[in-house]
Amino acid sequence: MTRIGLVYVNGAVPGFEDFGNLPTDIVKENGLIDGFKASNELDALIIPGGTLIESNDINMDLNTEIKKMASDGKPVIGICAGFQLLSNQIDIGRKSPVPIVKEGLGIIDVNFSPLITSDRVKAKVFNNSFLVKGQKEDVDGFHTHTYGKVEGDAKPLFYSQVQRMNYGDTNKNGEYNIFSGACNDDGNVIGTMIHGILDENPILIKNLLEQIDAANIDDIYSRNIEIKKYLQSEVGINTNIKVPKLDIKCKKPKYLMIGSNGSDSGKTFIVTGLAGALRRRGYKVALLKIGPDVRDIIPGLYLTKGKMEKFSSIKIGHLGWSDIESTISKLNSSNYDIVLIEGVMSVFTGLLNEKVPFSAAEIAMSSKIPMILISGVNKGGIESAAVDLVSHSNMLEKFGIPVKAILLNKVYSEDIFNEVIPYIKNNTTVDTVLKLPKIKSADMRGFIPEVEIRYELFTNHAMDLIENNLNIDEIINMAREVEFEKIYNFNEIKNKMVNGS
């Protein structure tokens, strides 16, 4: 019986992709399968992405099993953070004045340092491993990482063609080619920054199955179905929060956008907490990001065990993966129950860019997507946030966008919050004003995206805060089914902004 392991530890995202529908066994931090060492039981091992390095939850038992499989010549495939784990070292100090270096297992002779990319990619292939035998064409997949600069002497496997790096646009030649995959000298240990590489490139699956002399392919796929049921049975990893079965009568999913009046408002934190709370109630939740930076929805996918879909990034201008019309078409024929859409910056940022659409407001306008409008109060105070939210809400109404609730985030004073509620309600058509309190742990390392995020820490705080402070049933009732209507042209947008018509 052929057995292919999938690492399942805190910080991993084992539902993020299907891994070719190949995993047949779960490998936890103790490195055991049914009480026996994974290196004795498995024919191959897949290490998924996530925050394995920041979470520091790959312990010595599992490390020993990974090294043993590598030295025995068995295939070990590390994707994104899994690749980092197999490397020599990783500098995770992107916003630190000095490097913050974590040690890898030293199986693949490369080092990592900060580099942000989040593109759908094609990658050139170098024939240095069994995995790419006969792969003449470029491989397909996607990037979504913060620490993706790969340097070293290992044999190369892939160079990805990416459009943007570190939030910058393309270079004068229209693309960058970056080192995105390597292997050890024997070619059996493979690391790549390309997600979806086993899902989108059939030759690689064929090569892996041939390498391990897989006899009964149908048996592998049958056991993979059971693995997926196991993944979907729990919210997050090692939380013991079971997902109930829910009988949903709607034929189409309901949509809700989380928009804001600016960056650092807490959109990612709130979307993450809502995603976990909804999954805990049995809903199948789709998570989308407006614009290209799909890293923001990964914490939510960590809780839901959802896939990063080809439509998870909504295009604005030339940035992103899938236009809003095709995205809604695909979602409306999917088996998702609720779609949460995370905005980008302010809902109006980019509104007057002639590359239409270029803002969250235009995406919401296109399909009359209902919105919860939020603001962090940590910079200008509660009073300033209230004034700003009133202005934003009234402008959104001019654009025909239904604002279902206004939410003040990081509230430090209950009394001041209660004072601004009448002002908001008397000056908008919004009836529901919500708040989330300021939490002290927001200053902890490992808690803040873009610094050093640990998914198990970030998601636990997000879900607790949402469930303890918001009525989830009320939030669910704000979502509604939508159909794509139109993308407004630049002159229509300007007219609505100036004249409200």
Instruction: Give the residue from 99, 110, 215, 195 showing the smallest Cα distance to 145.
Output: 195
* Residue 452 binned pLDDT confidence (cut-offs 50, 70, 90): low
H helical segments located in 34-177 = 38-41, 52-55, 60-71, 81-86
Start-end ranges of CATH 3.40.50.880 in the chain?
Answer: 2-230
pLDDT in tens, 83-94: 999 999 999 888
Q: What percent of the chain has pLDDT over 70?
A: 96
Is the predicted pLDDT of residue 236 greater than 90, yes or no? yes
Instruction: Give the residue from 257, 467, 279, 277 showing the smallest Cα distance to 374.
Output: 257
Grouping H, G, I as helix, E, B as strand and the rest as coil, residue 271 is helix
Alpha carbon distance 264, 270 (integer Å): 12
H helical segments located in 216-313 = 217-232, 267-280, 298-304
Alpha carbon distance 334, 492 (integer Å): 32
* Residue 436 binned pLDDT confidence (cut-offs 50, 70, 90): very high
- How many H helices and E strands in the chain? 15, 22
Place of tokens 């995993």: 23
Q: Which amino acid is it at 379?
A: K
**Largest distance between two CA atoms of the chain:** 71
H helical segments located in 246-339 = 267-280, 298-304, 324-331
pLDDT in tens, 357-414: 999 999 999 999 999 999 999 999 999 999 999 999 999 999 999 999 999 999 999 9
Alpha carbon distance 401, 417 (integer Å): 25
pTM of this structure? 0.95
* Residue 189 binned pLDDT confidence (cut-offs 50, 70, 90): very high
User: CA-CA-CA-CA torsion for 146, 325, 318, 388, nearest 10 degrees?
Assistant: -70
Give the pLDDT mean for 297-326: 97
pLDDT in the model for residue 95: 76
- What's the CATH number of domain 2-230, 3.40.50.300, 2.60.40.1180, 3.40.1280.10, 3.40.50.880? 3.40.50.880
Is the predicted pLDDT of residue 174 greater than 90, yes or no? no
Structural tokens at position 144:
């979504």
Is the predicted pLDDT of residue 441 greater than 60, yes or no? no
pLDDT in the model for residue 172: 52
Q: Are strands 32-33 and 36-37 parallel, antiparallel or unpaired?
A: antiparallel
Computed over every residue of the chain, the mean pLDDT equals 94
pLDDT in the model for residue 450: 57
* Residue 128 binned pLDDT confidence (cut-offs 50, 70, 90): very high
pLDDT in the model for residue 249: 72
pLDDT in the model for residue 446: 56
pLDDT in the model for residue 97: 78
Is the predicted pLDDT of residue 96 greater than 80, yes or no? no
Beta-carbon contacts of 259 under 8 Å, excluding residues fewer than 6 positions away, are 267, 343, 347, 360, 361, 364, 371, 372, 373, 374, 396
Structural tokens at position 412:
């430090």
Is residue 496 within a helix (H) or strand (E), and if so which, with residue range? helix 490-499
Which CATH number is 252-497 given?
Answer: 3.40.50.300
Is the predicted pLDDT of residue 341 greater than 80, yes or no? yes
pLDDT in the model for residue 133: 97
pLDDT in the model for residue 447: 62
Start-end ranges of CATH 3.40.50.300 in the chain?
Answer: 252-497
Instruction: Give the residue from 327, 83, 331, 303 showing the smallest Cα distance to 197.
Output: 83
